[in-house]
Amino acid sequence: MDLLDEKENIWKDFLKRKEDNTFNEEEYDEPEQFTIEDENYRNKLLNNKYSKWTKKDFTKFLRASEIYGLNDFQNISKFMRTKNPEEVEDYSQTFQKRIDDLPNGQRIMTRLNRFESEKNKIIEYQEILETYFIELTDKYEDIYTNINIPYKMKGKGTQASHNAPDPNDL
C-alpha cells in the first residue's frame, strides 16, 4: 500500500513539474506511470479485511512471531494489544500463504525460521535439563535428611555434628 502511495505521489509530482516546466529531463528519468490498474489494486486493498492493519501492527506482528512463533495466536495477540487471537490467526494464515508477494518476503521468512529454530533448541535444552534434574532429585531424594554437618561448639574444643533438619519440619 505504501509503495502504491509513493508511486502515485512521484507520478503526481512529475506531472506537476512537467506542467510548471520545472522538470529537467537531463537530470531525472521519467518515473513509472501510476495507472488505473494501480488505482484499482489500491482500492481492492483498502476494501480488504486487513485494511485496519497498520504498518505498526505488521511490525508488532513480525516481532511477536519471532518471539512466540507464527502459530501462537494467543501470545501474539497479547503482545500486539490491539488485535484479538482470531484476527491474529486469520492474518497469520494469510501472511504465510502470501509471504512471497512481499518484496522482502523470503528474508522475513528466513528470519522467522531462524528464530523458530533457536526457540526449539532452547525448548529442547530445557527438556534435557528438566529430565536431568528429575533424575538427580530421584537419586538423592533424601539428601537433606542424610547430611551430617560437622561444626565446633562455642567455647568447647571438641567437634560435634548435627543432622540437618527435616525439610518437612521447616
What CATH number is associated with residue 87? 1.10.10.60
The pLDDT score that the predictor gives to residue 134 is 85
- Do residues 81 and 43 both lie within one domain? no
Asked whether residue 28 falls in the same domain as residue 99, the answer is: no
Q: Is the dihedral of CA 119, 125, 129, 131 positive or negative?
A: positive
Of 32, 48, 64, the last residue of a domain is 48
Cβ proximity of 72 and 92 under 8 Å: no
Same domain, 65 and 117: yes
Please list the residues that pair with 126 across neighbouring strands: none
For residue 24, the enclosing domain spans 1-48
C-alpha radius of gyration, the chain, whole number? 32
Residues 75 and 155 in one domain: yes
Q: Using pLDDT thresholds of 50, 70 and 90, give the confidence band for residue 166.
A: low
| 170, pLDDT greater than 90 | no
pLDDT at 63: 94
Amino acid at 11: W
Domain count, the chain: 2
Do residues 86 and 153 share a domain?
yes
Q: Do 37 and 69 have their domain in common?
A: no
Q: Are residues 147 and 73 in the same domain?
A: yes
pLDDT of residue 15: 78
Q: Are residues 42 and 61 located together in one domain of the fold?
A: no
Q: Are 71 and 93 in contact (CB under 8 A)?
A: no
Same domain, 156 and 137: yes
pLDDT in tens, 4-58: 677 778 778 877 877 777 766 666 677 777 788 877 776 666 566 676 788 899 9
The vertex-164 CA angle with 160 and 167, nearest 5°, equals: 170
Do 68 and 41 lie in a common domain?
no
Judgement on whether residues 92 and 153 belong to the same structural domain of the protein: yes
Residue 64: other Cβ atoms inside 10 A: 22
For 28-40, the DSSP string reads: -PPPPP--HHHHH
Same domain, 27 and 80: no
- Does residue 11 contact residue 42 with C-beta atoms inside 8 Å? no
Query: How many other C-beta atoms are found inside a 10 Å radius of the C-beta of residue 76?
Result: 26
In whole angstroms, give the CA distance from residue 138 to residue 154. 37
